[in-house]
Structure 1
Amino acid sequence: MERRPTIKDVAREAGVSKSTVSLVLQRSPLVKERTRVQVREAMARIGYVYNRSAANLRSSSTGLIGLIINDLRNPFFTEFAASLQMALSDQGYAVVLANINEDAEMQSKMIGTLIEHGVSGFVVSPAYGPRESPFDAIARAGLPAIQVFRKVDDREDQFPFLAPDYQSGSRLATQHLLDRGCRRIAFVGGLAGRAVTQERMSGYLELMSANGVEPVILTGAASHEFGVQGAHELLAHHPDVDGVLCFNDLVALGLLTASNALGRTVGTDLRVVGFDNIEGCEQSVPQLSSVSCGIPDFAEEISQRMLTWLIDGVSPETGIRTQVELVVRASS
């Protein structure tokens, strides 16, 4: 072999993943002895030599990943945090979790605190805030960081952004409502001007335009309370609306509950689709249709890309959108 062998070459030779090779090199107790021997023999065959000092420079070697979550009260983000923690734990890393409660000032404080505690890298589902980026401190510390779900820093070459394919999900949900015979479809929830709101609305706007239908848009907090408010506003000002796509499931569940109370039969008079497919969708009456973002698989994707960055020094490709699917239930 003309070039110097890499971890990828060892993994291929041993028939295991790169992460497994890395765990062997770090002497992790998570690796079975048989696998350890298999990897060591592959290293010897191809002449791989581990440069431990270089690896230490690439990561802080603490085995800690800082996870910043904008709002753990939302079950969508709770599921992601739990799934990511499990995925990283399987590879010998621990997660230090900070819930910032949509507070940009707290976000900056938590990032600073985690840097002081020596985390090896960050996964951040950020809060929106002032123009000064919360990633400036991470940049000064020279740590890898991935933005997920929302992008608040445009330096994607330095802080890659990955998210589910919101546009595709919006399109799937809207087409489903059209196919079910809805003639007047509204989009409810999500703060105006936010990129994530625009993405989750984009497929809806595309299909409304293609069908020559004027959109009905009620923007606001991504909350159960705003869903309740939205149900009242639709009945009062847009009584002809017979289909609704909501920014997220919290909004949808609030709208569903209030619409039932207002005498509208959800699933026939009014068809409702949410976004995120949280656990509560199956407990609502009627059960809520929703766009699933495949959070366990998304968390696994983020885990693997972060570990590749830490171990091999290869940063993730930015702008990746992962697959979504529409889960149809009685509400639509």
Structure 2
Amino acid sequence: MKKRPTILDVADKAGVSKSTVSLVLQNSPLVKQSKRDEVKKAIKDLGYVYNRSAAGLRGAESGLIGLIINDLRNPFFTEFAASAQMEFARKGYATVIANTDEDPEIQAQVIDSMIEHGVSAFVISPAYGGDANAFDPIQRAGIPTLQVLRQIDDRTNVFPFATHNYAVGGQLATNHLCDLGCRKIAFAGGLKNRPITNERMSGYSAVMRERGLKAQTFHGRPSRSFGRDIALQIASEHPDLEAAICFSDLVALGMISGFAEAGVKVGEDFRIVGFDDIEESSLVFPRLSSVRCNTEHFGRSSAQTMLSWIVDGERPPDLRHYDVKLIERQSSVGIR
């Protein structure tokens, strides 16, 4: 018995990806007419039969959004994902959420799978590393895609990028500590030479230069365990340091724990400012000063931006920075 042709056979004959064939079969307007004609010719030549009952389960016909997050264990990204998903839901769109766990290979697999299942759009907080052309399959499929919080593809004319104004946040935090009388201020956390680390450090570095102060950095994974370890290291090896701006609240929370273990009073002996202002920042003791990024608003706005793009054709700007705000609490100003 002759083998029945598959979607892979169609893709091979037409010289396109499987996801492109899938989009053509769903009558998606995202595929150029020339490619559409090539796929339809291959279907006719091969005698391929489209299983529409199975296709009806796919997302493009029900308004499915692909939301890909680099680290859902981090409450900062969890809050973003939840806020975006709820906004999509309010407008009648379903969301499929994937955690890549900072693994570019998993990210590539997830992207391919979501394209195959016919998502209408992507919102991606990407993992670093891996193939420099990681988003090429998305471009070939013609799916609107918004990069958020992190940028791995420089083609913002194709994949717009939305993020917070981290440089301003670093400036606010550093000036705050300097105004409190601190002169020996470190920056703690963030993997060296990562774009997101450089962004969050940039404001700190600029203010330290302007004020004629020496910058000191402690790079590492932005985690509680790193924060605890670096606090213990500072207490034993750098007793002259007076304050630190942390890459994230997770690092700052770890430092609070480490300094408590070392007998150092945070807010008095050593001052700390975090980044993100996750919920726990206002609940820990001493309460953590932090650069508020208003992640809930950012998540809602990112979803609204994407919906305006795919529903109304209003493409977002190539680059958009959202405002940040310094929230002063006990970890920097002391217990009052």
In 2, distance between residues paired with 1:244 and 1:302? Answer: 31
Write out aligned runs for 1:1-332 (5 A): 57=29, 60-332=60-332
Query: Which 10-residue stretch deviates more, 57-66 or 109-118?
Result: 57-66
Listed as ranges, the gaps of 5+ residues in structure 1 are 1-54
**AA matched with 2:82:** A
How far has the Cα of 1:253 moved from its partner? 0.4
Q: How far apart, in 1, do the equivalents of 2:292 and 2:283 lie?
A: 16
CA contact (8 A) 1:189 1:251 kept: yes
Find the aligned partners of 1:317 and 1:270 in 2 and give their Cα distance: 41
Inter-partner Cα distance in structure 1 for 2:307 and 2:220: 37
CA distance in 1, matches of 2:135, 2:313: 19
| Cα-to-partner distance string for 1:77-96 (whole Å, 9 max, x where unaligned) | 00000000111111111111
Residue 133 (structure 1) shift: 2.8
Which whole-Å deviations, capped at 9, do the CAs of 1:246-300 have from their partners, x for residues lacking one?
0001100001110111011000110001001111112212111111101121112
Deviation at 1:71, TM superposition (A): 0.4
Residue 330 of structure 1 aligns to which amino acid in structure 2? Q
Moved segments of 4+, more than 4 Å: 58-61
Q: Deviations over 1:121-152 (max 9, x none)?
A: 00000001123332111111110100001100
Q: RMSD between aligned alpha carbons?
A: 1.5
Shift of 1:56: 5.8
Amino acid at match of 2:94: A
* SS of residue matched to 1:174: helix
Q: Which amino acid aligns with 1:147?
A: Q
- Asked whether the equivalents of residues 267 and 286 of structure 1 are also in contact (C-alpha less than 8 Å), the reply is yes
Give secondary structure in 2 for the equivalent of 1:220.
Answer: coil
Instruction: Give, as a single letter, the amino acid of the residue that structure 1 aligns with 2:269.
Output: D
Letter in 2 for 1:83: S
Letter in 2 for 1:57: P
Q: Is the 8 A contact 1:148 1:162 kept in 2?
A: yes
Rounded to whole Å, the distance in 2 between the matches of 1:215 and 1:323 is 25
Q: How far apart in 2 are the matches of 1:145 and 1:127?
A: 15
CA distance 1:155–1:145, shift in 2 (3 Å) = same
Q: 1:174 to 1:68 in 2, by over 3 A?
A: same
| Structure 2 gap segments, 5+ residues each | 1-26, 32-59
Contact 2:30 2:142 in 1 (8 A): no
- TM-score between the two structures when normalised by the length of structure 2: 0.80
2-structure distance, mates of 1:213, 1:282:
30
Pick which of 250-259 and 58-67 moved more: 58-67
The alpha-carbon deviation at position 58 of structure 1 amounts to: 5.3
Say whether the 8 Å CA contact 2:266–2:331 is kept in structure 1: yes
Residue 116 of structure 1 and its aligned partner are, at CA, apart by 1.0
Is the Cα–Cα contact under 8 Å of residues 189 and 218 in structure 2 kept in the other structure? Answer: yes
| CA distance, structure 2, for counterparts of residue 85 and residue 134 of structure 1 | 24
Relative to the length of structure 1, the TM-score reads 0.81
C-alpha separation between the residues in 2 aligned to 1:84 and 1:132? 27
Aligned-residue sequence identity (percent) comes to: 49
Please give the per-residue CA displacement for 1:164-192, whole angstroms capped at 9, x wherever unaligned. Answer: 11011111111111111112100000010
1: CA distance, partners of 2:88 / 2:228: 38
Which residue number corresponds to residue 11 of structure 2? none
Q: What secondary structure sits across from 2:78 in the alignment?
A: helix
Task: Write the letter of the residue equivalent to 2:104.
Answer: A
Distance 1:275 1:58 in 2: 39
